[in-house]
Amino acid sequence: MGRRTQAEEPAAAAVRPLRRDAELNRHRILRAGREVFAARGLQATLNDVAHHAGLGVGTVYRKFPDKQALAEAVFTEELDEIAALAREAQSEDDGFAALAAFLESALGRAAHNRGLRELMRHGAVEGTGLTRARREITSHCEALVARARSQGTLRDGVDEADIAPIAAMIDAVLALPGEHPSELWRRYLVIILDGLRAQPGQTPLPDPDSAN
Amino acid sequence: MGRRTQAEEPAAAAVRPLRRDAELNRHRILRAGREVFAARGLQATLNDVAHHAGLGVGTVYRKFPDKQALAEAVFTEELDEIAALAREAQSEDDGFAALAAFLESALGRAAHNRGLRELMRHGAVEGTGLTRARREITSHCEALVARARSQGTLRDGVDEADIAPIAAMIDAVLALPGEHPSELWRRYLVIILDGLRAQPGQTPLPDPDSAN
DNA sequence: GCACAACTGGATACAGCATATCCGCTTCAT
DNA sequence: ATGAAGCGGATATGCTGTATCCAGTTGTGC
């Protein structure tokens, strides 16, 4: 495969600017994708998206070859927004509070976004943009955990790797039957955070990979 | 011909005793159902079960009209076993310890049983036997929570209705990608239990149905 | 205002999958 | 021995999501 700079295209496709209406439709699709994936989850059909956008299926398939492609575009945006929440949370002085604030805000997003939760769960949709955003979030998490630990407010043995399972647990509450959006998850986040706080005379945490 | 295992049916279809081989196959199917549902979850096919039992599909469909029926039979047994675990846990003197012991043992079961977890999650398969067993478990939970509360070791505001979400949360850890069976869930159960224990100066728990 | 390329819509072909049936053959019980 | 009970598993059926195709429409440059 020959490496080709950009502008000139002998065989490859030139990046011709979209016609104005086509560009508009692209936005419509993206927005519809956000809404539909948020409401119905990743298993929503591109047909669903098209209908929601008020467009034909063909139009959607023209812009995004398959669901994967659309999902990648949509969720890259959303993950970036969550990374921004993490950045904001850093401004909190108390390390534990910062971590708590991040979890609250990020999970607050997830609460209204079923697709995002499914993405968190299965890590499906391995797009380039996604892994980048994901990595960014991970590094913020590391920083938050490290700071809380250095301030001694985090329970001994708690680790950056605990964040994902915690998110998964809250996700499970969100996924519980019952009409949405419910705020029940906050209750359990409080419980978990209290279990995460350093306390005198705490039981040591079981090793992540103990073979009991 | 005097052999009559159970009461004779007057009006309805007489429950003719199964031929010996048929009875044996019935057991095989039940056992295969347990194993297959545990390993592959509720979405396993009756064809899967049949194959696992070393029988033809037709045989399975003869004994159980559909997946629902088999699942009901299988999981009624399993839920009864969990009810038994709850009963055992009651023997623990300390109320909080009893509750903790129940959660540990019951979730230990779930850890190796994907079908059971899916059942817990969606409450699907509404069979008569199931709702009975479920009710039994619920009432044990109520007793366990009540006792812990009366001994003052349970955090203020914690309630029998919290058990299901807690189970759901641990379930989420169990469902996390990674090779199974993992014992990671124990780590988070410890965290949650510590958040559930009464502690001086604890934040009050958010109301289950606060509309924040 | 024309002509043509770009774009659109949505009916529909396609593929994969779980469910459940059917019926010729085998095995049990008497 | 014989007929009823039971068995096997290929296969019909129906459903769902994916993606294509092309006749018709619309935007754009001349």
Task: Please choose, from the candidates A145, A141, A152, A148, the residue with its C-alpha nearest in 3D space to the C-alpha of residue A94.
Answer: A148
Q: What is the DSSP code (8-state) at residue A183?
A: -
What's the Å distance between residue A63 CA and nucleotide D25 C1'?
18
Protein CA at A66 to nucleotide C1' at D28, angstroms: 29
CA of A61 to C1' of D22 (A): 15
CB contact under 8 A, A203 and B186: no
Measured from Cα to the C1' atom, the residue closest to D8 is B56
- pTM of model > 0.85: yes
Residue A135's alpha-carbon distances to A128, A203, B28, B93, in angstroms, are 11, 32, 49, 48
**CA-CA distance, B71 to B37, in Å (whole number)?**
8
Percent of chain A with pLDDT over 70: 89
Taking the CA of residue B53 and the C1' sugar atom of nucleotide D8, their distance in angstroms comes to 13
| Separation in Å: D22 C1' and A54 CA | 21
Specify the amino acid at residue B70: L
With the C-alpha atoms ordered A76, A77, A80, A81, is the resulting torsion angle positive or negative? Answer: negative
Q: How far apart are CA B24 and CA B20, in angstroms?
A: 6
Distance CA A169, CA B171 (A): 8
* Out of A138-142, A163-167, A169-173, A174-178, least confident range: A174-178
Neighbours of A159 (CB within 10 A): 14
Closest CA to A32 of A62, A61, A55: A55
Q: Residue B193 in contact with residue B149, Cβ under 8 Å? A: no
Q: Which of A197-211, B83-97, B180-194 has the lowest mean pLDDT?
A: A197-211
Task: Burial-class residue B41 by CB neighbours within 10 Å (0-12, 13-18, 19+).
Answer: middle
Chain D nucleotides close to protein (CB under 7 A) are: 5-11, 17-22, 26-28
Q: Where are the beta strands (DSSP E) in A112-211?
A: none
Checking each nucleotide's C1' against the CA of A17, the nearest proves to be: C6
* Separation of CA A68 from chain center: 15
A198 CB neighbours strand D below 7 A: no
User: Residue A61: enclosing H or E segment and its boundaries?
Assistant: helix A57-63
Q: What is the reported pLDDT for B10?
A: 44
* Nucleotide D21: closest residue by CA–C1': A58
Q: Are A170 and A189 in contact (CB under 8 A)?
A: yes
Mean pLDDT confidence for B61-89: 96
Mean pLDDT of the residues in chain B: 90
What residues does B154 pair with on adjacent strands? B197
DSSP letters, B48-106, are: HHHHHHTS-HHHHHHHSSSHHHHHHHHHHHHHHHHHHHHHHHTT-SSHHHHHHHHHHHH
Question: Sorting pLDDT into bands at 50, 70 and 90, what band is A112?
Answer: very high
Span B188-212, mean pLDDT? 88
Kindly determine whether residue B175 and residue A168, on different chains, have CB atoms separated by under 8 Å.
yes
Taking the CB of residue B54, how many other CB atoms lie within 10 A of it? 10
User: Is residue B129 very low, low, confident or very high in pLDDT (cuts 50, 70, 90)?
Assistant: confident
Q: Which amino acid is at B165?
A: P
State the average pLDDT for chain A.
89
d(CA B194, CA A206): 13
- Selected residue with higher pLDDT from A205 and A123: A205
Distances A131 to A87, A138, A165, B35 between C-alpha atoms, Å: 18, 10, 18, 37
The model's pLDDT over A84-98, given as tens digits with 9 standing for 90+, comes to 999 999 999 999 999
Q: Which of B172, B182, B192 sits opposite A191 (nearest CB)?
A: B192
Q: Report yes or no: A154 and A95 within 8 Å, Cβ to Cβ.
A: yes
Encoded tokens for B180: 């199974």
Q: How far apart are CA B130 and CA A152, in angstroms?
A: 47
Mean pLDDT of A106-129: 86
Q: Do A203 and B190 touch (CB under 8 A)?
A: yes
Predicted confidence (pLDDT) per residue in A54-72, tens digit: 999 999 999 999 999 999 9
- CA A115, A116, A118, A122 torsion-angle sign: positive
Burial zone of A54 (CB within 10 Å; 0-12 exposed, 13-18 middle, 19+ buried): exposed
Closest CB to B165: pick one of A188, A196, A205: A188
User: Which chain A residues 64-103 have CB under 7 A to strand D?
Assistant: 65-67
Residue of A nearest to B196 (CA): A191
Q: Best mutation site among A176, A188, A192, A196 for testing chain B: the one with the most B CBs within 10 Å? A: A188
Q: Which residue's structure tokens are 């708690």?
A: A158
Q: Which domains does chain A have, with CATH numbers?
A: 18-65 (1.10.10.60), 66-196 (1.10.357.10)
CB atoms under 10 Å from CB of A152, counted, come to 10
Chain A: residue whose CA lies nearest to B201 = A194
Residues near B159 by beta carbon (within 8 Å), at least 6 away in sequence: B145, B208
Q: Which residue of A has its CA nearest to B194?
A: A195
Helix A128-150 / helix A95-111 crossing angle, nearest 10 deg: 150
